[in-house]
Structures are given as C-alpha cells and as structure tokens.
C-alpha cells in the first residue's frame, strides 16, 4: 500500500508582513494612499471629541478604508465587513489589524450620511484615471455610479 506524507489542516502560524500584503498597482494600494494623503478628512476628525475624556475611537481613515474596500468588492453588510477585517489579509493589512466590530462599522457608515458618496466617487475616479479598475458598474448602497 502506498504511503503519503500526512496533511495537517489545523491552524498554522505564518509570519506575515502586513505592509507587503497591499501590492502596488492594486485598488487597495491606491485606496490606502488616497485616504492617507489625498482626501480631505478634517470633517471626519471633527466628529471625534475624545481628546481628554471618552473611549479611544477607531481612526476614521481606517474605517473609511475598510468600508470603501468592502464596497468595491460588493460587501455592504457591516457583519460581512467585520468578518473580512478578521479573516481577509488585505483588510487586516489596510486596517492595521484593528478589527472593528459590526456595530462600529454600522455606526460609522450611518454617521457619514451623504459624505461617503463624494469620497467613494473621488476614490473611484482617481483609480479609474490610473487604470486600476475595469469599466464595470460600481454601486454604493444600491445607487449606480457612472464612471
């Protein structure tokens, strides 16, 4: 009878450098750069007034990156985004392994209101100009956006 090497399908700890998981030329790389360096997010910072008291908040840039990356992949449920932040290496890398809960994600999206559409549109237009996305339809909250 043939003998084969055993297979172990249990947990395996691998060394992962998170900064190397977001590849240059990808949508996630462009999104990460745009949110950190190009978008004016002072309005988001102004929503948090916890300098001296209150709990430490998730960085709105990280939350925005998570939400926009999820939306670009068709993930719109806060629970699905939470799972991606815990299991998908691209989300883990882009968020710095911060792992926000679905409640935090939903509260962030609801708090953005109409602010998210122009931000998402600006990210998509910049990425389209750089040839990082296809010419397919993108939608946010069920509303198609023309590219």
pLDDT, the chain, mean: 81
- Rounded to 10 degrees, what is the CA torsion of 40, 120, 98, 134? -130
Q: Give the count of beta carbons closer than 10 Å to the beta carbon of residue 31.
A: 24
* Stronger pLDDT, 47 or 24, i.e. the higher one: 24
pLDDT tens readout for residues 47-104: 776 677 777 888 888 999 999 899 888 899 999 999 999 999 999 999 999 899 999 9
Tell me the pTM: 0.76
* Any domain includes 11: no
Work out how many domains the chain is built from and give that number: 1
Tell me, yes or no, whether 131 lies in a domain: yes
**C-alpha 14, offset from chain centre:** 23
Residue 62 lies in domain: 24-40+58-145
Question: Is 18 inside any structural domain?
Answer: no
| Predicted pLDDT of residue 39 | 82
Contacts of residue 66, defined as CB under 8 A and 6 or more positions apart, other chains included, come to 81, 84, 85, 91, 94, 95, 100, 105
For residue 6, name the pLDDT band (cuts at 50, 70, 90).
confident
Find the mean pLDDT for residues 126-138. Answer: 66
- Round to whole Å and give the CA distance between 70 and 78: 9
Strand partners, 138: 145
Lowest mean pLDDT among 14-28, 85-99, 110-124: 110-124
CA distance 58 to 8: 37
Run of H or E residues at 126: helix 116-129
pLDDT of residue 139 exceeding 60, the answer is no
Mean pLDDT of all residues in 35-40: 84
- The answer to whether position 106 is within a domain reads yes
């Amino acid at each position: 009878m043939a003998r084969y090497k055993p297979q172990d399908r249990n947990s395996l700890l691998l060394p992962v450098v998170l900064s190397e998981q977001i590849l240059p030329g990808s949508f996630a790389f462009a999104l990460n750069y745009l949110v950190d360096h190009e978008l004016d997010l002072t309005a988001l910072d102004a929503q948090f007034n916890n300098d001296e008291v209150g709990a430490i908040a998730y960085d709105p840039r990280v939350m925005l990156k998570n939400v926009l990356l999820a939306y670009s992949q068709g993930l719109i449920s806060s629970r699905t985004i939470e799972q991606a932040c815990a299991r998908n290496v691209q989300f883990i890398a882009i968020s710095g392994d911060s792992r926000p809960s679905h409640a935090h994600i939903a509260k962030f999206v609801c708090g953005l209101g109409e602010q998210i559409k122009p931000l998402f549109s600006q990210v998509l237009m910049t990425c389209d100009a750089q040839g990082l996305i296809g010419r397919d339809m993108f939608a946010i909250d069920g509303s198609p956006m023309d590219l």
